[in-house]
Amino acid sequence: MSAGTICDFGFRISNLKFGIVLLCAGMAAAIFSGGCGYHVGGAAVAQLPPGLKVIAVPSLKNDTPRYRIEQRMTEAVVHEFIARTKYRIVPNEESADAVLHGEITSFEAIPAVFDTTASTTTSTAIPSVTTTTARATTMLVSVHLKVSLEDRETKKVLYKSDDYLFRQPYEISTDPSRFFDEQGPALERMSRDFASRLVADILENF
């Protein structure tokens, strides 16, 4: 291999390293500027019935391939209502004064931070070549939801939001012997954040 070829090869590797660094910086900035979770709140469109005592919280509808995420979200919402309000919470609509409908419309988990470790190899043909391996160390999970609270008898919508969006980063171990799937705990944190924000929004609107 000629000296010119080696130099050209090294130049391409340097460009690759620079591109990876820019990608990491951009993704990290997106995480920290957006925060771990945020939402675009909805609005009250009617008054809560004065006799409202029982709210049904059936299982959220899951339109995503993520298995059982609706169970986590539903359980968190039920727990938050019981902890923070005077309403009785039931799973069935027939015995309720109002019904909370929820739908998980999207779920996405993407690499957000990469470990760019440089390694140097030598051979008889090429004296020294430095390569960079990009390995994801942090993932960013995003969940989008929409909810509505309606009077069971009149079907009037009491509260509605189609724009709940929550994000939660979690780390991935680079050591296979110490690997632990952190996505589960991240979804638990996100479920609690969503439930807390949702109940707060409903109470603040009335």
Q: What global pTM score does this model have?
A: 0.68
Q: What is the mean pLDDT of residues 106-126?
A: 66
- Taking all residues of the chain, what is their mean pLDDT, rounded to a whole number? 76
What phi-psi label fits residue 36: left (phi over 0), alpha (psi between -120 and 50 degrees) or beta? Answer: alpha
| Position 107 confidence tier, pLDDT thresholds 50, 70, 90 | very high
How is the chain split into domains, by residue range? 3-204
Which CATH superfamily is 3-204 part of?
Lipoprotein like domain (3.30.160.150)
Is residue 84 over pLDDT 60?
A: yes
The pLDDT of residue 142:
93
